[in-house]
A and B are shown apart, each in its own frame.
Chain A
Amino acid sequence: MAVPRALPGFLRSSTFRLSVFYVALFFLSVGALLAFIYVQAIATIDTQTEQATKADAAALVQEYTAQGIAGLIDAVEDRIAPDRAGDGLYLLEDDEGAPLAANVQTWPTAEPNPGGWVSFNVDREDGPHQARGLTYALKDGSKLLVARDLHARLDFQELMVDALYYALALTVVLGVGGGLLISRRMLNRLDAINRAAERIRTGDLSHRIGTTGSHDEFDRLSETLNAMLEEIHRLMNGMRTVTDNIAHDLRSPLTRMKGRLEMLLREPADTDAQRVAIERTIADADQLLTTFTALLSIADAQSGSARATMAPLDLDELAGDIVDLYEPAAEERGIAIGHEEGQGSVMGSRQLLFQALVNLVDNAIKNTPAGGTIQVAVRRQAGAVHFVVADSGPGIPETERDRVLEPFVRLDSSRSTPGSGLGLALVAAIARLHGARIELGDNAPGLVVSLIFPVVA
């Protein structure tokens, strides 16, 4: 994962990321909406101002035409009277540039645009304002400026910008807050499903995922998963029943067969040849049973039913036991077996893990020549516990290492030695039962088999 682990869970969740995306999208659409309103409103204000200015100017020009300059001066004076002073701006100058009636001090310096409109700044009590208006040259040489103060437009602009900020801030707060709330809610539901699934995966097969009764998507998901679990449970029970029945139905005749042969062996035999034949038949029956027991053990480990008897287990103690048990047998073959002390505890089945170890050490002893060494070690490495059996035998070529973990696979080099070809398959099944990986490596020379257990916090 690229996201740092320090982030709280809900910040890493996809629901939260989705809600952030939606907040951004919402942010953009609110911005676009406000921009549209802004542009439209400004255009309307501008049009209204223009029309008012035009109408005002037309009225004044008409006054001039009817009453002459004196009438015009009266009309302008009337409009700029303090009690009526609004946004209207007027400047009437005679042909020499002396003001006749005005509330604007200086004639705008800017050139009017082709429509006759001129923009300029005007000093008002609260500072300079923008203004826009029309200029007229009258017949007697005097000039008239009719303009409008644009502060309303600017006020509106400011208002819109403020509104934009508030709206965006509110969007972010509501969006992120809502996103967090929704993602936490969703995560809680998902977590509940996850926890239940984990509990089932680790062996509690009768556990089921809870539902809230709201019949929403999560409930439907839980129900579907529960139905699936029911099916798995049923199938596994079926498997278990089948293996149990096989165990019973095949072992019973074998028991009888062995029993009869042993009874026969206790009677005085007619000939030595008969005695030898009986002994060999018993040995064959034993071989059959060994293979059969190994197969059942593999099936049993795969079914995961032994998870119920798992307990905290000191692997180093197990390593000590196996070395203790095999030391004389190894020494008899001229092999030194050693226990490299270490630390590591896992949840596990003591009997099954020891059986796995017995298989590994048996293999190591069979394959190590006299004068060789076998090391059993428990090491803590990179957040995992490594349970290692290393020998100095011929090892296994890299290309064959995956294959030997399968049942009944025996390398050509070991065909001549006794064994069922199920040992490593059983070890692999027991490792899987414990959530451990099995790794075959090169001990240069020799084989090193590691069972790698995840460390439970």
Chain B
Amino acid sequence: MHLLIVEDDEDTAAYMRKGLMEAGYTVDHAANGRDGLFMATSGSFDAIVLDRMLPGLDGLAVVQAMRAANISTPVLILSALGQVDDRVKGLRAGGDDYLSKPFAFSELHARIEALLRRRDVQSVETKLTVGDLELDLLSRKVKRGDRLIDLQPRELRLLEYLMRHAGQVVTRTMLLEGVWDYHFDPQTNVIDVHISRLRQKLDKGFDKPLLHTMRGAGYSIRAG
């Protein structure tokens, strides 16, 4: 997977680059908006991480120019401006996701994974499967092995989000955004309690747990 980082701050760029390369990505870097746009239009990247405030050409202008040139590479906008309308502006300009600075690397990583996955999954599914866990999207029924698992509507939505991102790390803010559609950093353990309830229903009585806690990052549902 080939990523482009457009970030003027050397240290932040180096830190992201190092982390992402360790995670197995090929990473290119542009230090200003003009170079970023040039590279985005010529190279074939799988995703772009774009800083909002850039010298030369502003981040929003870069996305707009990209979208105008029919380049649909997923873009994650990074910004030190974390206010409500900044986020709206970023997504309206053509960004696919928005992450406020400062962020934990795990958050960035999880969101890039989600962006890359979003591109793969285009077909309409009626059933999600992870190991012996099955979620029927039409009847809204959940089965593990032969056992029917009774879930509340909210637990079902939570499970659906996790299963759609099966094998990936899903952060707390991603869950809050994906399941409840609210964008802020939950400082308290509200999300963790939801997960532990869900885990009770999914994994209790089974040898192999499916819902894993990724320390310092978030959660992941996977068979192995």
Contact = CB atoms under 8 A, between A and B. Distances in A.
A160 interface: no
Contact of A351 (B101, B182, B189, B193): B182
A252 B53 CA distance: 11
Nearest to B153: A324
B193 A305 contact: no
B118 interface: no
B184 interface: yes
B159 to A, nearest CB: 14
B161 to A, nearest CB: 14
Contacts of A263: 15, 18-19, 105
B25 interface: no
Contacts of A247: 80-82
Given A296-B82, A306-B84, A259 B182 contact: no
Nearest to B85: A309
A309 B193 contact: no
Given A256-B15, A259-B15, A262-B104, A325 B190 contact: yes
Contacts of A251: 80, 101-102
B119 interface: no
A256 B182 contact: no
Contact of B85 (A254, A305, A362): A305
B194 A252 contact: no
Contacts of A362: 187-188
B84 A300 contact: yes
Interface string B168-199: 00000000000010111111111001100100
28 contacts: A247-B81, A247-B82, A248-B53, A248-B80, A248-B81, A251-B101, A251-B102, A255-B9, A255-B80, A259-B16, A259-B105, A263-B15, A263-B18, A263-B19, A290-B187, A296-B83, A306-B83, A306-B85, A309-B84, A309-B85, A328-B190, A329-B188, A329-B189, A329-B193, A351-B183, A351-B184, A354-B182, A362-B187
A35 interface: no
A423 to B, nearest CB: 10
A354 B102 CA distance: 22
Interface of B: 9, 11-12, 15-16, 18-19, 22, 53, 80-85, 88, 101-105, 154, 180, 182-190, 193-194, 197
Interface string A253-276: 011101110110010000000000
Contacts of B85: 305-306, 308-309
A258 B188 contact: no
- Greatest chain A CB density within 10 A among B12, B103, B154, B187 is at B187
A259 B80 contact: no
A352 interface: yes
Interface string A342-381: 0000000111101100100010010000000000000000
Contacts of A262: 104-105
B193 to A, nearest CB: 4
Contacts of B22: 266
Contacts of A325: 180, 190, 194
Given A244-B81, A248-B53, A329-B190, A259 B101 contact: no
A431 B11 CA distance: 39
| Most chain A beta-carbon neighbours within 10 Å: one of B9, B154, B182 | B182
Contacts of B104: 258, 262
Interface in A273-311: 285, 289-290, 293, 296-297, 300, 305-306, 308-309
Given A259-B102, A321-B182, 13 more contacts: A244-B81, A255-B80, A259-B16, A259-B105, A293-B185, A305-B85, A309-B84, A328-B190, A329-B190, A351-B84, A351-B183, A362-B188, A365-B188
Contacts of A252: 9, 12, 80, 101
A297 B84 CA distance: 9
Contact of B11 (A244, A256, A326, A354): A256
- Which residue, of B19, B81, B189, has the highest number of chain A Cβ atoms within 10 A? B81
A326 B88 CA distance: 26
Given A255-B101, A259-B12, A326 B84 contact: no
A297 B83 CA distance: 7
A262 B9 CA distance: 18
Nearest to A307: B85
Nearest to B9: A252
Contacts of B187: 290, 362
A380 B223 CA distance: 50
